[in-house]
Amino acid sequence: MMEIMQFLDRFGKWILHLLTEIGAMGLLFFHAFIYIFRPPYRLRNLFKQMESIGVGSIPVVLITATFTGMVLALQGYTGFKRFSAEGLVGTVVALSMTRELGPVLTGLIVAGRAGAAMAAELGTMKVTEQIDALATLAVNPIQYLVTPRFIAGIVMLPLLTVFSDFIGIAGGYFISVNMLGANAGVYLRRTTQYLQMEDIYGGLLKAAVFGGIIAGVSCYKGFQAEGGAEGVGRATTGAVVVSEMLILISNYFVTAFLRG
Amino acid sequence: MIELRNVYKRFNDHHVLRGVNIKIESGEGMVVIGGSGTGKSVILRHIIGLTKPDSGEVIIDGQNLADLSEEELSDFRKRFGMLFQGAALFDSLSVWENIGFGLKEHSRLQKDEIMEIVTEKLAMVGLRGIEHKMPADLSGGMKKRVGLARAIAMNPKIILYDEPTTGLDPIMSDVINNLISQMNKTLSVTSLTITHDMKSAYKIANTIAMLYQGEILEVGTPDQIQNSKNPVIQQFINGSSEGPIRVD
């Protein structure tokens, strides 16, 4: 009987903790969003974040997208050959990249790179009282630190995804035409034949959602850090894991919304 | 004027403040002494509104902080300057950007006007020529002094000092003590200092209050505290491990 009560107690505490976290994170997202529309607008901070999240991620996104496109083409060709549908590889690469792999893989990569950096930076500021110092200087820490990162995430992820889509399709083209013997003209026509604008826009909408998630979650985890270096480490890991989980979960719901 | 009325605060099961009453008149310099981890910093945080009491009131210049919205509170903080224990300089900004931060955010001053004020404040804390250095390049004592320059940049009416001499060598501690003492006199500010450094306390304070087990035990002038009959106070100010204060 005691064991059951203890278990219920622990389980209950865990649920309450989870609900508190969700609530607090939700509040941070809400405030970060409304401060977008309130002056002062601190464009310098915003551009710095856009450079950090967007421009800084281009090399890793380039590599990820290239090899993703290449392996898609290879897998697609060898798989479809089983039922003589290898002519559809171009189409499949284009649709997969624009609808799913472009936004999702870009989101996961940027979560690991920029998300971790944001959580580490804000976490370090938290444990060294810099966030409190901001507040004592009559500056709202959410408006100063979170909102620029939030906007930067929402704006730069779709841009990175456009880049990713293009490079991925190019990688698929390279493999198909140069290694697998596809006809270049036919392959290009297949790439665009069944590709619709809504595939691309849908992918970009997802990317914007993922960008907001990465920024919001990473900033939240940074703000919660406590206990010195270990706390900052925990915040950074937590930021990446939670961002990536939420990206994958929200991916389903946004897709269902788009297809519904 | 700063007033805490019957302030209670607990963190989980730790009852840090159990009915704290403090009154600091305008222009007065009070020092709160007490052991490590007894809640002195928590008092400071209540005064500037970073922490809210579980019960009781915090009244600054006649304004109850609980009546202010977050935005009004943020604005209200412009009358304060605070020196944090580790200085809490913004490490991505240079010295002058740190000191001029409040001016840049809240005034229409141009960069060269801000620079002028920054140089003046740096001179007040005995530093010159380091405007373009980064916090990582500074020693502990220099960081504290830059932190102090930042705290006074907007000419605040109330200055809060969180353990200003902790971690500094004896000579630098005395430099900081002199600065604080001088600051209080020349700027006519109301100040509250949290410390367990008795030498510092005697030098800076008009009044000293001791925090013990969540309450203010006694308030008095440095002389009165030194001659206190209370064994708890005597044990603390003499730095003795023997006495009613138990170290767990």
Cβ contact (<8 Å) for B80 and A136? yes
User: Does a structural domain hold residue A17?
Assistant: no
Rounded CA-CA distance B143/B90 in Å is 11
Q: What is the pLDDT of residues B173-217, one digit of tens each?
A: 898 898 888 888 887 899 999 998 888 999 999 999 999 888 998
Q: In sequence order, which residues have a C-beta less than 8 Å from that of residue B128 and are 6 or more positions away?
A: B119, B122
Q: Which domain holds residue A126?
A: 45-259
User: What pLDDT score does B179 carry?
Assistant: 86
Cβ contact (<8 Å) for A137 and B101? yes
User: Does a structural domain hold residue A64?
Assistant: yes
Mean pLDDT of B35-45: 87
User: Does a structural domain hold residue A190?
Assistant: yes
Interface contacts (A, B; CB < 8 Å): 52
How many structural domains compose chain A? 1
Q: How much of chain A, in percent, has pLDDT values that exceed 90?
A: 88
Name chain A contacts of B80, Cβ cutoff 8 Å: 136
**To the nearest whole number, what is the mean pLDDT of chain B?**
90
> Does position A123 have pLDDT exceeding 80, yes or no?
yes
Residue with the larger pLDDT of the pair A182 and A102: A102
pLDDT band at A43 (very low <50, low <70, confident <90, very high): very high
Rounded CA-CA distance B245/B225 in Å is 17
User: Does a structural domain hold residue A249?
Assistant: yes
Cβ contact (<8 Å) for B82 and A136? yes
Q: Quick check: A130 contacting B, CB < 8 Å? A: yes
Mean pLDDT of A149-165: 96
> Does position B246 have pLDDT exceeding 80, yes or no?
no
> Does position B59 have pLDDT exceeding 80, yes or no?
yes
Mean pLDDT of A49-78: 94
User: What pLDDT score does B248 carry?
Assistant: 64
User: Does a structural domain hold residue A28?
Assistant: no
> Does position B84 have pLDDT exceeding 90, yes or no?
yes
Mean pLDDT of B124-143: 92
User: Does a structural domain hold residue A76?
Assistant: yes
Name chain A contacts of B101, Cβ cutoff 8 Å: 137, 139
Of A132, A138, A139, the CB nearest to B88: A132
User: Does a structural domain hold residue A72?
Assistant: yes
User: What pLDDT score does B245 carry?
Assistant: 77
User: Does a structural domain hold residue A19?
Assistant: no
Of A129, A136, A138, the CB nearest to B106: A138
> Does position A19 have pLDDT exceeding 90, yes or no?
yes
User: What pLDDT score does A122 carry?
Assistant: 97
Tell me the pTM: 0.91
Sorted by where each starts, the structural domains of chain B and their CATH numbers stand as 2-238 (3.40.50.300)
> Does position A260 have pLDDT exceeding 80, yes or no?
no
> Does position A36 have pLDDT exceeding 90, yes or no?
yes
pLDDT band at A233 (very low <50, low <70, confident <90, very high): very high
pLDDT band at B18 (very low <50, low <70, confident <90, very high): very high
Q: Quick check: B90 contacting A, CB < 8 Å? A: yes
Of A129, A134, A137, the CB nearest to B86: A129
